[in-house]
Amino acid sequence: MGAKAINLFSLATFSLLLLVPISVFLFLRIPRIRALLIAHIRMVAQLFLVGLYLETIFRINHPLINLAWILIMIAVACTAATSQSGLRLRRFFLPLGTAYLISMAAIFGAFFIVLEPRTVFSARYLIPLGGMILGNILRSNVITLDRYFHGLQKRPEEFITHLSMGATPWEARKPFMADALKAAVSPQIATVATMGLVSLPGMMTGQILGGNSPSVAIQYQILIMVAIFTTATVSAFLGMVFASRRAFDGYQRLRPGLFRH
C-alpha cells in the first residue's frame, strides 16, 4: 500500500499557509517576499517537471540512463555550490565535480555491502539515494567553500605567517580547512545525535508512508545517514583540496578573479 495521493486543489489551498510568513515579513519589513514567492514557484515547477522525467526514467530503468541522471544532478549541484559560495564557476566547476564524483562513486561502491549490485543501479534506489546524498553534499560544500576562501581572503596575515615560519602551503591551509569543515559538519552531527527524538527523518517517513514497516524504514535511514555524513565530509574536504590548486599562484597568493563580486 502506497501513500495516498493529494488532490491538487487541496494542495494549492494548503499552500496558502505561506501567507503567514509573508505577513511576518511585511510586519518586520523584511524585503524577501519576492524571493520567497519566486523560490516556491520555482520549486513547484521544478518538482513537477522532474516528476515527469522520473516517471519516464523509472519506466525505462536502464543503468546507463540512471547514471546519466546522477551525472546531471552532480553538474547542477556543482553549479549551485560555486554560485552560492560566491565563487566563479569556470574556475571551480572541475575541481568540485571531481570531488563529487569520487565521493559518490565511493559511497555507491560501499552500498554493494548491503544491497545487490542490480538493486543499487535500479532507478528506484539509485536516484532517490543519490538525490538525498547530493542535497547534503551541496549544503556542506557551500559552507566549506565560503568559510575557507573568505577566511583566506580576510586573514591573509595568518596564512603568510605560517608560510614565513617554515610551514608548507598544505600546512598553512590546514587551519582554514579545519575551521570550514567544522562549520559544515557541526549542524549535521547535531542532527544525527537528535534523530528520532527531535525529528523523524525524511527517508524513514517516506518508507512508512510507502507501506514499509518501521523496522525496515529504520534500517534504510541508518544506511542513508551514514552515507550522507561520509560523502558530505569527504566531498567538502576534497573540494577544498582540489579547489586550492586552482586558487593559488606559484607564490601562494590567491589568484585575482576567484570571487564573482
* Shared domain check, 194 and 100: yes
Residue 259 resides in a domain: no
pLDDT (average), residues 85-98: 90
Please report which helix (H) or strand (E) contains residue 252, including its range: none
Domain boundary among 31, 60, 89: 60
At 90 the pLDDT is 86
Dist. CA 84–CA 114, nearest whole Å: 35
* Shared domain check, 77 and 39: no
- DSSP lists the bridge partners of residue 254 as 248
Kindly tell me the sign of the dihedral angle through the C-alpha atoms of 111, 115, 121, 126.
Answer: negative
Looking at the predicted structure, is the pLDDT value of residue 209 above 80? no
pLDDT (average), residues 1-22: 88
Q: How confident is the prediction for the chain on average, in pLDDT?
A: 90
- Count how many domains the chain has: 2
At 206 the pLDDT is 78
Residue 163's domain spans which residues? Answer: 63-247
Which distant-in-sequence residues (6+ apart) come within 8 Å of 50 by Cβ? Answer: none
Dist. CA 164–CA 106, nearest whole Å: 38
Q: Which of 182, 174, 183 is nearest to 152 (CA)?
A: 174
Q: Specify the 3-state DSSP secondary structure of 5.
A: coil
* Shared domain check, 237 and 172: yes
Looking at the predicted structure, is the pLDDT value of residue 18 above 90? yes
Looking at the predicted structure, is the pLDDT value of residue 1 above 60? no
In the chain, pLDDT over 90 holds for what percent of residues? 63
Kindly tell me the sign of the dihedral angle through the C-alpha atoms of 85, 91, 93, 97.
Answer: negative
* Shared domain check, 6 and 52: yes
Which distant-in-sequence residues (6+ apart) come within 8 Å of 128 by Cβ? Answer: none
* Shared domain check, 91 and 141: yes
At 228 the pLDDT is 93
- DSSP lists the bridge partners of residue 248 as 254
pLDDT tens-digit map of 36-78: 999 999 999 999 998 898 899 999 999 999 999 999 999 999 9
Q: Specify the 3-state DSSP secondary structure of 242.
A: helix
- Extract the C-alpha cell encoding 238: 576534497
* Shared domain check, 197 and 129: yes
* Shared domain check, 146 and 71: yes
* Shared domain check, 196 and 133: yes
* Shared domain check, 207 and 84: yes
